[in-house]
Amino acid sequence: MYPVTLNVTGRRCLVVGGGWVALRKVEGLIAEGAQVTVVTPEAVGPLAILQKNQAITLEKRAYRPGEAAAFSLVFAATDDREVNRRVSEDAASAGVWVNVADDPALCTFHLPARVRRGSLQLSIASAGESPFVVRRLRAFLERRFGPEWTAWIEAAGRFRGAVRALGLPRDEMERRYDLFFDSTVDTRQIRARVPAAEELARWLSPDPEKPGTGRAENGKGSQVGVASPDGARGRAGLVSLVGGGPGDAGLLTLRGRQRLMSAGAVVYDRLAATALPCDLPANVGLHCVGKEAGHHPVPQEEINALLVRLAREGKRVVRLKGGDPYVFGRGGEEAEALAAAGVLFEVVPGVTSGIAVPAYAGVPPTHRQEAVQVTLLTAHESKKVEGPQVRWDLLAADPHATLVGYMGVTSLPHAVERLIAAGMNRLTPAAVVERGTTSAQRVIRSTLAELPAAVERASIEPPALFIIGTVVRHADTLDWFGKRPLSGERLVIASPGGDLGAELDMCGAEVVEVPLPVTPAARVVLGALPLTGCVLRSPEEADALDEERDGPGWDSSKVVAWCLRPAAAERARFLGWRNVVHLPDETPGAVIRAMVRG
């Protein structure tokens, strides 16, 4: 097979079939600007919506012999092989390229599996011979190529334009392209970062030098201030700095959701991904700016510049941050950058982790006559040798205070050492909570002195925070979150989840309710944390969610397909779902009892 990339903009394309497989073909064609005609006696609901919105031409009838010849590209995706064969023969005889779903012998071209990160596309194909390999390779690459590659390819495009404007000889242009690539891509870890402004300026200078620091391997770039505003106000939009809460999507505020649903672009951190509404319109631009422990692929200055660029395009922009924007979230810096650029902004406060996470771990931050003061601090302060901004001596001396430390994994031993050295009782109750308020929450409780070793034994990873104070001893009694029967389960269900979705949530499961077809925002949410199960109520839902199983968050060996009807179970097994459980009783109570039994 000879690999090509087709420009189908404005070309007439035919899709024969009206199921979920056909819908995926239609969506791909629409995204590339094709004029799509769908022929099918019956169509799934989203195809009818596309017709209503005049995105496609939908003709509810049987395929007519010979009509494939009138199109530039043809797809057959029915469940009738005879119809598919007829479409294939008609197209081939007219010299029209044709693809038949799941039938390589009838194809004159094959569609590769794709991994997309903005304009960057990775294609995997096997000439139709080994689709199982293609699927697994796609799943592998979906996990390895993080969302930061989208921002990276956009930065690469801007850099190319700046280099071409210099009018340099070809070898000098290539030299600068090498500097960009070699300094921003870690080929071993398959990671990328957006370069800082000072690096770009150096690479565009008459005598560029490869920087000795800022390489992708250490995950850091030179952090410089925001470039001075150019004074152009244009038709600037509004930037909303929205707190997404600590992880539980239900803790997103009403105003935060309202701003998200009316946005034209969303700039989000990894830790805020679970707060994205799954029903966010597909045309909303999603910009992941990374930020995880040890890897900040997009410098803060570039985040600030991105917010300004998007606003100056006249967009309503949401900057979605975990917790609260102004509590250890650098929201103040971003607001100052927007103010300096003359961009209108607002702040939508969120539920901060320092209050919510202890509550989900069974720890009340205050308790009458026991803890009358709460101190929120960043644990990184404990590492400072000179000039720490935290008075550890004062914190250690107050037995009626609760300390809550953000970013508290790597810094925990230093914080504990400073507190004990300042006189805090070594036996003070303490805890560390990983991924608080989510299905991945883990809680480690110990004494202050023993906590670092306990955390190391449990292999606790960021994001996590620590809680130190007598109130931690209440966790045995007040652990409401971890004692619910489905605690730790993260389940996908097609929207609307109805009574079943509500009951699963009440029993402690983290329910990800996704619209069909699955939106880009829903894919981000699905991949934010590991999934444990998928509720299938029909064969159509199995078809619609099948391709999503290649994405991050899905582990085929662990995710259970809970099928409420025999036809759904049969279809899931046909599609290769590994762990299929048919539930003969589909009432919410019976489903929950089956899940609890495992």
Domains in the chain: how many in total? 5
* Alpha carbons 117 and 551: distance in angstroms, whole number: 13
Q: What is the pLDDT of residue 226?
A: 36
**291 is an active site residue:** yes
What confidence tier does 30 reach under pLDDT thresholds 50, 70, 90? very high
What is the CATH classification number for the domain harbouring 430?
Answer: 3.30.950.10
Could you tell me if residue 135 is inside a domain? no
Q: Is the pLDDT of residue 218 over 80?
A: no
Average pLDDT, the chain: 91
Domain residue limits at 386: 355-478
Residue 160 has pLDDT above 70, yes or no: yes
Q: List b or e across 472-486, with b for residues whose CB sees 16 or more CB atoms inside 10 angstroms.
A: bebbeeebebeeeeb
Among the candidates 451, 478, 505, a domain finishes at: 478
In a domain, 456, yes or no: yes
Beta bridge partners of 373: 401
Segment 169-197, tens digit of pLDDT:
999 999 999 999 999 999 998 999 999 88
Average pLDDT over every residue of 333-354:
96
Q: Is 499 a catalytic residue?
A: no
pLDDT of residue 120: 92
**Are residues 345 and 359 both part of a single domain?**
no
Query: How big is the chain, counted in residues?
Result: 598
Task: Judge if 359 and 345 occupy the same domain.
Answer: no
Q: What is the pTM of this model?
A: 0.85
**Catalytic hit among 291, 324, 543, 550:** 291
pLDDT at 131: 80
Mean pLDDT along residues 17-43 = 94
Tell me if 385 is assigned to some domain.
yes
pLDDT of residue 196: 87
CA distance linking residue 545 with residue 572, whole number of Å = 10
User: Given 64, 85, 111, which residue is the final one in a domain?
Assistant: 111
What is the distance between the alpha carbons of residues 580 and 161, in angstroms, rounded to a whole number?
51
pLDDT at residue 279 is higher than 90: yes
Catalytic residue among 90, 269, 324, 543: 269
Question: Are 428 and 345 found together in one domain?
Answer: no
- pLDDT tens per residue, range 61-107: 999 999 999 999 999 999 999 999 999 999 999 999 999 988 889 99
Whether residue 486 has pLDDT greater than 90: yes
pLDDT at residue 554 is higher than 50:
yes
97, 68: one domain: yes
574 and 562 co-located in one domain: yes
Q: Which two tokens stand for residue 336?
A: 């100052």
Residues 278 and 361 grouped into a single domain: no
Residues 6+ apart with CB under 8 A from 62: 39, 41, 83
